[in-house]
Structure 1
């Protein structure tokens, strides 16, 4: 029999909303003396996450594949440490973590924000499908390698930037890497985002008695470099861009600016309302509701947002199931060779 979750998947009523920005979440906060690592911190939502954390005084380390591009993007943000790392290269992940651990620094916040979406089929060096490898396995390995630094913080948070895209697929256990079934770019993306949610559930279970809490989240529907592989006609039909290709911002329908999109990441990493909580999926700087049961639960959730009944899409129950979370953890250990230190 599965033990009940420590934190209910029920909104807290934080007072924030879809229009809240990352800067508003940390307004008045003092993060001096605290250290954060933000993957993807030089693109899209990651840039705004880094900007808000630095403004509040945190030391921020950004792993980068392209130092020149990262330095240019973050030129207006002082004091960010750039370190080489590629999530699809296991040796690179280990090397980055090793360098950080050599400094004996505590790690208070690990925000796993990097990701790819709906890309053509490709595989990493180990043969794993690239979206699952980048969005989940790379972050799984990174988090476990950094475990000593998270424990050293004596109160750390790990944040998995997921997506409402998790509705596209659960974990297809008998063919995770599309070796026997036809490749579906959005299905692969959805599977990797479900993995983000499940990872947070199991990491929180394993870490909560040792001061490490974990969260996953949907940042909102936002135009960032993540959508580079998405057909512009599809984006227009989705109401994300106008006929001129310009973004359509409407927080009431979860269409956000990058500054608004980064708010939930920053809230999960720093918000005092989450003290003592963990293992939940968040949205609009609050814990998200469960998607209601029904003939088509996804359509029901989207209709609630469209009509203004709820400004949160919510989370699919299968993506926060504790038994599936434990199963994914075991699979991820086998695929990466990473284990938590005692």
Structure 2
């Protein structure tokens, strides 16, 4: 099994570093970014940071009115209609952008859903977490490929999670047709797919100057991503207290939104990553590779302060990355242009 090389570079940042720390001294004037999920949580903080550094930022959103209201304090952010579960909507958004002639310097695939309590399928029969978190972003990236190639130095950032350790991509049963549905297995599979996608995208794109990264932002209470997680589970994991207040502690990987968004901003902008790509990052550095695949990963373990920051070997498997690419092309009917 060929594995993606995962070697920390000693970036100088920590779990407590924020977006303000990682963007310091970096100018994005003249750069163009697209941020999915850019009207809430980590995505919104990423948009704010990019704008503060001078970038032009476009936020695709299913609910345009809601997105504009959320971004009211960031009037320079441009909101465009797009639904990650609607192929025609993705195609229309990307076509408008590509025809504009603009280069795309940064694509941050930050939108996502987590731990749906029951097995839910999209219109094409695909499990909803896999469809939203991976297939929608696969299609979007493919359709935006001409604009990414225009820059000669673009970056694509996929927001994954340490929750990838819940599950590899189960190629023989992606949609839980033949195995019991588990919310965390579905989430983990989609987050592993984010990592594998970044690995294969980087391998295919670097000749055109397109580099790709994936990352774990941390556990961030209050973003809305945890809406399907029972409150008692969050209390038992030490994410919130008995009154529902966040227990921010970066040493335990429980972060504020500016801390949580730091790694995706770092992946998208840092000169420390020039000439690199295809790696999984955490705490604004490249994560190490675990010695073995996890066998019983849990929310509590992730927030215990004892977990390793490493990426599971099944998510660094280059053969699995290539297989996922082929499966994704088949399921979406979309091939990346040459």
For normalisation by structure 2, the TM-score amounts to 0.95
Contact 1:291/1:298 (8 A) holds in 2: no
Three-state SS of the structure 2 residue aligned to 1:53 is helix
Q: CA deviation at 1:296?
A: 5.6
2:287 matched to 1:284?
A: no
| CA spacing shift, 1:228–1:268, aligned 2, 3 Å | same
Residue from 17, 23, 34 that aligns with 1:26: 23
Three-state SS of the structure 1 residue aligned to 2:60 is strand
Structure 1 stretch displaced more, 35-44 or 72-81: 72-81
Contact 2:161/2:217 (8 A) holds in 1: yes
Structure 1 stretch displaced more, 289-298 or 129-138: 289-298
Q: CA deviation at 1:78?
A: 2.8
Q: CA deviation at 1:298?
A: 5.4
Q: CA deviation at 1:86?
A: 0.6
**What runs of 5+ residues in structure 2 fail to find an aligned partner?**
none
Alignment of 1:103-182 (within 5 A): 103-119=100-116, 120-182=118-180
| CA spacing shift, 1:25–1:294, aligned 2, 3 Å | closer
What is the count of residue pairs matched by the alignment? 335
Q: CA deviation at 1:306?
A: 2.3
The equivalent residue for 1:327 is 323
| CA spacing shift, 1:218–1:74, aligned 2, 3 Å | same
Three-state SS of the structure 2 residue aligned to 1:174 is helix
2:72 matched to 1:75?
A: yes
Distance 2:295 2:249 in 1: 25
Distance 2:302 2:177 in 1: 35
The equivalent residue for 2:334 is 338
Residue from 76, 81, 85 that aligns with 1:84: 81
Contact 1:89/1:124 (8 A) holds in 2: no
Structure 1 stretch displaced more, 189-198 or 61-70: 61-70
Contact 1:200/1:216 (8 A) holds in 2: yes
Distance 1:304 1:31 in 2: 34
RMSD of aligned C-alpha atoms? 1.9
> What stretches of structure 1 move > 6 A for 4+ residues in a row?
none
Q: CA deviation at 1:105?
A: 0.5
| CA spacing shift, 1:74–1:294, aligned 2, 3 Å | closer
Contact 1:40/1:114 (8 A) holds in 2: yes
Q: CA deviation at 1:183?
A: 1.2
Distance 1:188 1:255 in 2: 22
The equivalent residue for 1:38 is 35
